[in-house]
Each structure stands twice: as C-alpha cells, then as structure tokens.
Amino acid sequence: MINIAPVEEYLRGVVPEEMGVYFSKEALKAQAVAARSFTLKNRNRHKDFDLCATSHCQFYGGVDSAKKLTDEIILETRGEIVTYGGVVVDTNFHTDSGGMTENVADVWGSAAPHLLPAKELEIKTQPWTQEMSAKNFA
C-alpha cells in the first residue's frame, strides 16, 4: 500500500514515531525541522515511492500516530528546513550516538561539510558496554 500525503501531513505520522512527545518543545521542533528536511531531500528514494515507513527512511505511523503537541510543533515550524549552500541537506538522525558521532565519509563513503563528527553534550548512555561469556558470545 502506498500512502500519498503532503509533506506537512506526512510529518504528523513521523515526528511522534521518531521522537515521541516526552522531550522538550525545542527538541521536538528540531526533530520536526530535521524530519521535514530529510523528507524533502530523500524524495524518490525508492523506485515506486518516495520513503518507506521503517528506520531505513523515517518511522511513519500514519494519521493514527498524530499527537496534539507534535501537530502544533509541525505547524509552528511549517516550511522550516536545513540548508547548506542554498541546498536542502540530508539531515540524518538517530536515537543515540553513544557519546560521539562518526565522520560521515567513514560511514557512507563521501564527505558532507554539514555532517561533521561531534561529541554529545549530554552523555546519558555511555559507555556502551555489554559483558557476556565467550560461550554466549559465540
């Protein structure tokens, strides 16, 4: 099934799925702008449709996912996008960097001047440590 939706309507099913409503209003605004930019930059990412509903593109739950708070934030940031040199950029985002983001060239093979490695300001999930026996690891 393919869902045809204008960008602002599509974001109503993305922002609450990607971030929820438990973060600060400013964080949700940043997510809305990043999701909008990602959406516009990645149109036609797939052969027969623009974006899928998984982590490959952006989690999308349709209108059933829409929340009053995120709807208000999407409206408040309407039309706001991230550009570099006058071009909409690929605003890749993730749940957790583990304390430091990677150089985009090392991840995808080509440099992007707007995607530079950076340390997290708040490190709540570091260190990423998992201990297990050699047997369980194997």
Confidence of residue 127 (pLDDT cuts 50, 70, 90): low
Report which secondary-structure segment, H or E, holds 10.
helix 7-19
Name the β-bridge partners of 44.
none
Q: Which of 17, 7, 74 is nearest to 43 (CA)?
A: 7
Tokens of 3: 């869902």
Confidence of residue 126 (pLDDT cuts 50, 70, 90): low
Q: pLDDT tier at 59 (50, 70, 90 boundaries)? A: very high
Percentage above 90 pLDDT, the chain: 53
Report how far residue 51's alpha carbon sits from residue 32's, in angstroms, rounded to the nearest whole number. 16
User: Is residue 83 within a helix (H) or strand (E), and if so which, with residue range?
Assistant: strand 83-84
**If we measure between CA atoms, which residue out of 78, 125, 81, 136 comes closest to residue 100?**
125
> How does DSSP classify residue 64?
G
**What pTM was estimated for this model as a whole?**
0.82
Q: By the 8 A CB rule, do 51 and 44 touch? A: no
